[in-house]
Amino acid sequence: MILDCAVIGGGPAGLNAALVLGRSRRKTILFDDNKPRNTVTSESHGFITRDGINPQELKRIAQEELSSYPDVRTEKQRVHRINKENRLFKVETENGKVYSAKKIILATGFQEVLPDIPLVKDFYGKSLFNCPFCDGWELRDRPLAVVADDHKAFHLAKLVSNWTNDLIIFTNGKEVISPEEQELLKSKGICINEKKIATFIGEEGMLERIQFEDGTSVFREGGFITTEWIQAASFKSSLEYTLNEQGGIETDSWQRTETEGVFACGDTRIAGPSQLIIAAAEGCMAAMSVNGALTEEKFN
C-alpha cells in the first residue's frame, strides 16, 4: 500500500500532524521510538488545558485520540533511512521493513548535550532546567543559578531575573560576560561567579549546593543551564535539506523543506522557542500543507 504520509517522530509535533491527517482521511503512519528530550522531566507546563501534565500522559491521551481515526497507524519503530525514488519516499525502519509514502513529515525533535560537569544529569529535569518559561514558575523566589559558559549567560540571566531576585551566574571557569554586561547585571543585583565547577550537591535531583574545584561551595536551590542541541535523527544523507545556524532544518512558513514532499515541524527546526504547544501547532501546519499538496496533485 502507498501511504499518503509518513510522519517520523511521535512527540507533540508528530502527534498533532497525525491527528490532522487522520481527520483529513489521509493514509498515515506515525513512526516513534519514544525517546523525546523531555523524558527527564515529570511535568510539562504552559500548554493550555494541559498545564503540569506528565509528558508521557500527554502522549497517551494523544494516542487515544488518534485511535478514533482508522487511516492513522502508529509503528513503535525507529526510522533509519528515507530515500526518494521518483516521486515516492521509501521509509526503512530499524527492523528492516520498508514503507512507501507520497509525503514525509519530519517531527524528530532534538537531543540535548549537557555540559561536562560531574552529576549534572542527576539534577537536570528535576531542579536544573533549560527554559524559564517551562519551569521558572515552580522555582520562583528561590536562590537560583544560571549555569552557562558561553554568550547565552547574559541573556539567560536577564530572563531568569523575572522569576527571582536572588540570582548568581556560574560561568564554570570561563570569562564570557563583558565588563559592560557585568556592570548592568550588578546594578540589578545579579552576581557572577567564574569559578570552575567540580560538581552539584543535593538529594534526589534537588539542588542544594554548587561545589567548585577550589573546595568552596555556594548554596542554590535550583536554576537554569544551557545545553547544546543536536538533531535526534539525521536523514541528511538520503534527503536534501538545509540546516540553519543552530543546526535546525530550514522550512518556509508552511513547514516545507528544500526537498519537495518533505516537511518539518517542532523542535527539529531549532528555529525559536522550544515548546510543546509550538511543536503541536507546527505539526498541525505541516499536516495542512501535506493535505494541500495532495489535493493539488489530485486536481492537476
Ligand X SMILES: Cc1cc2nc3c(=O)[nH]c(=O)nc-3n(C[C@H](O)[C@H](O)[C@H](O)COP(=O)(O)OP(=O)(O)OC[C@H]3O[C@@H](n4cnc5c(N)ncnc54)[C@H](O)[C@@H]3O)c2cc1C
Residues that bind ligand X (CB under 6 A): 8-14, 31-38, 40-41, 44-47, 78-79, 107-109, 112, 125, 129-130, 134, 232-233, 266-268, 274-277, 279
Range 76-80, long-range pairs (CB < 8 A, 24+ positions): 76/32, 76/33, 76/34, 77/31, 77/33, 78/31, 78/33, 78/233, 79/6, 79/8, 79/31, 79/233, 79/235
**Alpha carbon distance 209, 127 (integer Å):** 12
The region that residue 223 occupies, defined by phi over 0 for left and psi between -120 and 50 for alpha, beta otherwise, is left
Nearer to ligand X, 14 or 261 (CB): 14
Q: At its nearest, how many Å lie between ligand X and the CB of residue 148?
A: 16
Q: Which element (helix H / strand E) includes 197?
A: strand 197-203
Nearer to ligand X, 32 or 221 (CB): 32
> Among 292, 247, 282, which Cα is nearest to 112's?
247
Q: At its nearest, how many Å lie between ligand X and the CB of residue 273?
A: 8
The alpha carbon dihedral of 133, 35, 29, 66 has a sign of negative
Q: At its nearest, how many Å lie between ligand X and the CB of residue 248?
A: 11
Nearer to ligand X, 11 or 222 (CB): 11
> Cell digits for 106?
519530519
**Alpha carbon distance 51, 24 (integer Å):** 28
Q: At its nearest, how many Å lie between ligand X and the CB of residue 17?
A: 9
Nearer to ligand X, 177 or 251 (CB): 251
Nearer to ligand X, 108 or 161 (CB): 108
Q: At its nearest, how many Å lie between ligand X and the CB of residue 243?
A: 16
Q: At its nearest, how many Å lie between ligand X and the CB of residue 23?
A: 19
> Do 63 and 111 contact (CB within 8 A), yes or no?
no
Nearer to ligand X, 215 or 273 (CB): 273
